[in-house]
Chain A
């Protein structure tokens, strides 16, 4: 008898992740759908605003990665202005972006995922949380807090605020670093690097306990998309778009960012507010699905470019099914995030000695010289695109935002299906299944309406329906 399992939180307001798992008559998972928050509201809200306002407005899309939206927006505004951003401003923007990676990835690993990794996916929810984490490893928890705070403090130093900093502008930035701030960051780097090393060791040591998770959490072939430097290195701020297929073949070696629509198109489904981006040359089907984010970035790049990160990247690549092929499993996103934290810290260390970050030449002034601007950046959770159309007065007539979570929409659906398929047991909705589906989603580190935190608490309501729509079982969490 076909059945529907609906992981269904309160859905009266946008901002929740509803999961529906459809079983066939044999009790196997036939389909899974993950309904994610919509961002179209911000796109409409921005119409009629002036383009210089956009970095300040769009950063309120997210409380975790406001810097990503600010920088992507600023890049789109740079294009409208048609000015060349001074080199010191570029370096400062990159610096803040690396700090963003430190704080965002630290939150994902230490606070959101560590309870599952340290305490076990099937452990009691009453203790599989921050309390359990702190009791199991108080030093790790404390260091995780400090690592995140380190990234936030770097952002706050130069922008004035750690959340919603009004700092990046069309053509540049508002403030630079002073010598005192530079020394303070230098003083904090050794601990940050050691904390990341400790986390890497802890994660790698835990792998033997997660062999089934490695095999079933988002472990399927797909395309991979991400930014690379012109030389093919790991890139978070600018560069070129690269696409690889599941065999490791390069489909797009390095596309200039403003031409992204040549390879990315968007579909719409009736059952979700979120857009479904896909690789346009392959069409909207299974072969058009791509993934972005930490795993994708490490898959598409040829090297990282910093010593410790490159060493870890070489180890990470051994997790692929065969040499030269991409790493497929999303469980390896934890490892990828820690590598990116290390990369960011190493890049910060190098840039601190660059006198340009103390330069006063940090902004190019201009007006409206183009009526369309595209800004693409790698947010911690994946490729982020801001595209604006403006009139001759610089008023926005249209905004298109393609966020990382949207880019991963198809892949998240498939991951939920894969996990459900591996762990579902008859007609029972177990706590373990809930935990694992949650963790599977968490691997993508999705941005789910943190812009409205009051309604984004994401309780889970799981309902199991028979073919007639009758509830057989249900569980509510949160």
Chain B
């Protein structure tokens, strides 16, 4: 089962892009007959580690927005980025933020579960008060199928034994 954790604030425009990304991913994976569970939240909290560690979770995808700085992201349109979650963790923030790495560490250290996990981010340029996404974020979401094809059709799951044996 793929666990999608979407987080952000839908009243701060692109900060809520993670929910739109989660909508698209969930739709695609259900069409491909994958089992999907989804959590929508304002921000990541320690107890999400309990969901990550639940029985049957074979992969975790955190769906989020990121602050996109065009000059730092290279030429061409801003795209959805997908990266595997590492293990580097820093000291706690003075605010309330936990990042996906911390959630996954809690799951591993406290519950002994360590499913593969990724963060997928939509480029955000407008975080003002309001609803709806910027043109940048909307355009990036339109190219999601291309991103997924680059990752491999089975992402975020490993190919099954049957897939391997049949050469699918």
Contact = CB atoms under 8 A, between A and B. Distances in A.
Given A145-B46, A148-B47, 10 more contacts: A13-B67, A17-B94, A63-B43, A125-B90, A163-B42, A450-B95, A453-B7, A454-B65, A454-B127, A455-B127
| From A138, A152, A451, residue with most partner B Cβ within 10 Å | A451
Given A130-B106, A446-B94, A454-B8, A41 B128 contact: yes
A49 to B, nearest CB: 11
Contacts of B26: none
Main secondary structure of the interface of B (DSSP, over half): loop
A44 B129 contact: yes
Nearest to B108: A134
A125 B105 contact: no
A149 B50 contact: yes
Interface residues of B, number: 42
Interface residues of A, number: 53
B93 A130 contact: no
Interface in B72-105: 89-99, 102, 105
B43 A148 contact: no
| From B14, B50, B91, residue with most partner A Cβ within 10 Å | B91
Contact of B97 (A13, A134, A442, A453): A453
Nearest to B95: A448
Contact of A458 (B9, B66, B94, B106): B94
A406 interface: no
A174 interface: no
A469 interface: no
A219 interface: no
Interface in B139-166: none
Given A450-B96, A453-B7, A453-B42, A129 B91 contact: yes
B67 A453 contact: no
Closest 5 CB pairs of A and B: A63-B42, A45-B129, A149-B47, A63-B43, A134-B109
A134 B110 contact: yes
Contacts of A130: 89, 92, 102, 105-106, 109
A280 B106 CA distance: 46
Nearest to B110: A142
A66 B105 CA distance: 26
Interface stretch (A107-115, A351-359, A419-427): A107-115
Interface in A160-216: 163-164
A451 B95 contact: no
A452 B95 contact: no
B15 A454 contact: yes
A458 B97 contact: yes
19 contacts: A42-B129, A60-B10, A60-B12, A60-B42, A63-B9, A66-B42, A112-B92, A115-B92, A125-B91, A128-B91, A131-B109, A142-B110, A145-B50, A148-B47, A438-B91, A453-B8, A454-B67, A458-B95, A478-B90
Contact of A45 (B66, B96, B130): B130
